[in-house]
């Protein structure tokens, strides 16, 4: 099995919001063995793979990291994957407005990125504060982006594969953005002339943006 299997197995359980103990019981194995599977310590047999696919309602190819199509899962495949061939590519700052807001669990499956989350909730004591974390295929870190936060990343290497899972459907009518270099936020991306999409070059500054988080 590859590392994608272990990560996906753990992420599917977390997405389902169940404990490792309960998932192990439902799958008919010990919690210790499930922990080994989720951490890549041991490799499961085909019987377990089939049972896990049925339990999480995904295809074997998805569980094994061969495809992003989970066959019946909540999140559309297009909202799970971004790729870039060029170092210094920046995406963000993105969010969905109001009740269409998404929480995201993000990771980098290939290459490395600097991942950024910024609090966009005016009533929050951490409003306009941001965090930046390096995610890479080597460190295998993940970052949870709560609802009410903006999200973006800049690629630190060529040939990046960036994956994320969200707790709400993509809603194009609620799609929002803030300029990556907004002086009010002062995010240190580590780049001064990034590669941007046309969409991101046209994003407004925070003072002009409608986030839908004003009453949060």
* Nearest Cα to Cα of residue 164 among 177, 153, 148, 178: 153
Given the residues 94, 127, 151, 159, the one annotated as active site: 94
For residue 164, what are its two tokens?
A: 């994320």
Say how far apart CA 206 and CA 127 lie, in whole Å: 12
| 164 included as an active-site residue | yes
| 169 included as an active-site residue | no
In order, the DSSP letters of 63-76 are HTTS-S--SS-SS-
Strands of 74-213, DSSP E: 81-84, 90-96, 104-110, 112-119, 130-136, 142-145, 149-155, 160-166, 175-177
The catalytic residues are 94, 164
């Amino acid at each position: 099995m590859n590392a994608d299997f272990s990560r996906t197995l753990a992420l599917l359980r977390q997405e389902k919001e169940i404990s490792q103990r309960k998932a192990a019981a439902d799958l008919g194995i010990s919690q210790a063995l499930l922990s080994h599977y989720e951490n890549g310590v041991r490799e499961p047999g085909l019987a377990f793979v089939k049972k896990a696919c049925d339990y999480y309602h995904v295809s074997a190819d998805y569980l094994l990291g061969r495809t992003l199509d989970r066959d019946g899962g909540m999140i559309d495949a297009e909202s799970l994957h971004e790729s870039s061939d060029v170092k210094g590519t920046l995406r963000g700052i993105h969010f969905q407005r109001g009740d269409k807001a998404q929480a995201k669990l993000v990771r980098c499956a290939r290459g490395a990125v600097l991942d950024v989350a910024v609090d966009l909730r005016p009533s929050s004591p951490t409003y306009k504060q941001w965090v930046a974390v390096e995610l890479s295929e080597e460190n295998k870190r993940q970052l949870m982006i709560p609802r009410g936060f903006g999200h973006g990343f800049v690629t630190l290497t060529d040939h990046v594969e960036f994956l994320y899972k969200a707790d709400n459907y993509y809603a194009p009518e609620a799609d929002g953005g803030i300029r990556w270099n907004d002086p009010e936020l002062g995010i240190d991306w580590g780049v001064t002339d990034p590669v941007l999409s046309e969409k991101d070059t046209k994003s407004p500054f925070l003072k002009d943006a409608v986030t839908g988080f004003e009453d949060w």
